[in-house]
Amino acid sequence: MLKNSNRGISTLVAIGIIAVLVVAVGGGILAYQHYYIPQQASNNQQVQNQNNQNSNPTPIQTPGNVVINNVTGPTSLVVGQTGTWTINTNSSSNLTYGVIWGDEGIGCISDCDAIPFNLHGQQSPTFSHSYQNSLVEDVTFYVKDSNGKIVSKSISVNIKTNANASLQITSPTGGETWHVGETHNITWQATGVQSILVDLIGYYNGKPNFNMPISGILPASSGSFSWTINDQLDNYGNTISKPGQTFMIAIQEYLGSTKSTSNFLNITNTVTKSNRQSLLQDRV
């Protein structure tokens, strides 16, 4: 009797232990499902967001970066005339300024220390200069901050010998087809210009590929130059009249900046009755 009683007690204890284990394991599974997994997902999302922030950082806006807003002043002068230009910046704090006018023989490609920087602490300083020769100059204005950082802005200034100087090509007008061996008159009208040069400008497939003088120095008042077309472009066997090539005639003031350019024309080496005799004479 006692032995059976003990056996019943042991069975109950075993059942109780099993029940406790079932509750503990089941509770752990529920806790894992309802707490740990969502928490881990949240942590993973935070890590992902942090990674995204690191891969796409917000640009740092450094206060005080100097910017040249614009440069105002003349883009055309007469020889000896003084022009005045103003640099407009976004700040005046600890800035120095400099200019390369184009006629000093220095540049900022290899040696920016050659630029004389001055005029401290002005937001819109002015600079004045005059030129003694007629040409087109690229004028570059520089601004340097207290850290030595330099920014620049360039403008082109056309310096003329005469305020009313002008050149205008009257022939060719464009659209003509000329042939190698033919002779054509290139004509122009000139005002306030002493001497000119005549150039042939070549374009291959729409892009400029050479600029060749076809005259010496001519008096602008002559108004005309007679050109016999030679197909030889250079000493390397290149010819003027290759397929895809078009041309412009340019009249350029000698030692000056006044210029006139024709519209496009064509030059071909096709032999015509008018130029056959000239070609035969060249071969004799």
8-30 residue pLDDT tens: 555 555 566 665 555 555 555 54
pLDDT of residue 55: 40
Q: Using 50, 70 and 90 to split pLDDT, how confident is the model at 3?
A: very low
Chain position carrying tokens 């008159």:
185
Nearby residues of 46 by Cβ (< 8 Å), 6 or more positions away: none
CATH superfamily, with its number, for domain 166-283: Immunoglobulins (2.60.40.10)
In degrees, to the nearest 5, what angle opens at C-alpha 255 toward C-alphas 128 and 131?
A: 10
CATH classification code of 68-160: 2.60.40.10
Whole-number Å distance between alpha carbons of 87 and 67? 10
Q: Specify the pairing of strand 76-78 against strand 135-144.
A: unpaired
Greater pLDDT, 117 or 90: 90
How much is the pTM? Answer: 0.48
Whole-number Å distance between alpha carbons of 198 and 224? 10
pLDDT of residue 239: 75
pLDDT of residue 279: 45
pLDDT of residue 1: 47
Q: Using 50, 70 and 90 to split pLDDT, how confident is the model at 264?
A: very high
Q: Residue 239 gets which letter from DSSP?
A: B
Whole-number Å distance between alpha carbons of 206 and 212? 17
Chain position carrying tokens 């920014």:
151
Query: CB–CB of 142/97 below 8 Å?
Result: yes
| Lowest mean pLDDT, pick from 76-85, 196-205, 234-243 | 234-243
